[in-house]
Structure 1
């Protein structure tokens, strides 16, 4: 059963958040990295169908996970929040659109179409469907349209999730907001800091011909 539902977009520190939540909850956190590593055959068609309105058995899909952040799951924050009414919803975010846009363009957006031949049509259809669900069909190369949809998305999250249940978690916020919301002690360890733009591109540049990075291509 999910205790934490991520509503934040990719490139808002979701790999860091995954790691932090796994430390706090002592159980796995679903993330696009999990899809690439362990669920490449099952999750893409399942989330593609969900984006088309054919929802899965959420309990079965997330069996063994205590949290879910990043795409593809975060695109369904509203459905998951309704299904798991006791879960905390975390809206991870950057300090503004410009920061997010720069990071996204230097990582996921530039790689999306380049990866099409590697990851296959079902993966690309899932990503396209989740993009359209989140950004209301805004063309990925139209900065103004994406920015407008970006702000509408964050407004929808705030309108959908009651304030007492929602954590707005800006990158760099550390342990305290999560620990307070989950009523857990602050770990005696530094808060993680993972998957920078440099990390992403170092992995992407290391991919062998015909290969796909083994970890978080969408964090």
Structure 2
């Protein structure tokens, strides 16, 4: 997860579709693409949680209609994707890593790059994401935060997407990983699909994109730590808002009682 949401740049279109699962270095990959393409990159987790509320609401509506059951659903899904990704050079992370056919329809010239890592290490690291995202009290705590009040509903539709693609959403298993790889090989032409481990640094990525190696170090972002810190930040912020609301309500009740007595 990146530190800040990115803003669209006029006359910019998707060149790279990031197909890697969460916890495969998608934040580092996003920043690397931002440097190489010199254009904004849409990292799904960052934009949904730190971007304008309209982003997370749009993803909820899109995923609630996916997979499409009517031409109307298909049109709505395409419209949301176009609106959200207009002005970006690449998209990474969930939910777009599970919308590859839809994205290839809209961006037929884009390269699909799947970030990878050791599958067993991925299974262990996904437990952190699941624990942070499924805390039972989030729906209550986040209620007063304009964008994040929708976060529990967003997690629900992400679960639905995972069930359709891979089976039960959690806990993440090696079977989820294998099914995602099979999904990509089934839906992406072989000459358009590239697998990339962020540990390998600039050279293989630059070779695929036909870019020179930048004169800066390859970005290294600890996704797990960022998720934990962001979760705690929102919990604290939500509790502070609840404290203010309850204090205001208490003062109001006290004023009414005092006025009557």
Shorter chain as denominator, the TM-score bin is: 0.7 to 0.9
How big is the shift at 1:56? 2.8
**Which structure is higher in helix share?**
2
Q: Deviations over 1:42-70 (max 9, x none)?
A: 33334324524222323333111110000
CA gap of 1:124–1:206, structure 2 versus 1, over 3 A, is closer
How big is the shift at 1:41? 2.6
Q: Deviations over 1:157-193 (max 9, x none)?
A: 1232222211101231211222112111111110000
TM-score, normalisation: structure 1:
0.83
Q: Deviations over 1:5-49 (max 9, x none)?
A: 011100010000111111111111111201222243333334324
Q: Deviations over 1:74-111 (max 9, x none)?
A: 11122212321110101111122x100111112x1111
| Total equivalences in the alignment | 205
CA gap of 1:186–1:73, structure 2 versus 1, over 3 A, is same
Matched, 1:210 2:238: yes
Asked whether the equivalents of residues 27 and 223 of structure 2 are also in contact (C-alpha less than 8 Å), the reply is no
Q: Which has the higher contact order (CA 8 A, sep 6+)?
A: 1
Distance 1:39 1:162 in 2: 34
Distance 2:188 2:87 in 1: 24
Distance 2:226 2:29 in 1: 16
**Which residue in 2 is equivalent to 1:102?**
124
CA gap of 1:20–1:50, structure 2 versus 1, over 3 A, is farther
Asked whether the equivalents of residues 39 and 89 of structure 2 are also in contact (C-alpha less than 8 Å), the reply is yes
Asked whether the equivalents of residues 48 and 125 of structure 1 are also in contact (C-alpha less than 8 Å), the reply is no
Range with bigger deviation, 176-185 or 120-129: 120-129
Residue 62 of structure 2 is aligned with which of 47, 51, 54? 47
Distance 2:114 2:231 in 1: 27
CA gap of 1:36–1:197, structure 2 versus 1, over 3 A, is closer
The higher radius of gyration belongs to 2
Matched, 1:140 2:174: no
Gaps of 5+ in 1: 212-219
**Which residue in 2 is equivalent to 1:93?**
116
Distance 2:82 2:102 in 1: 12
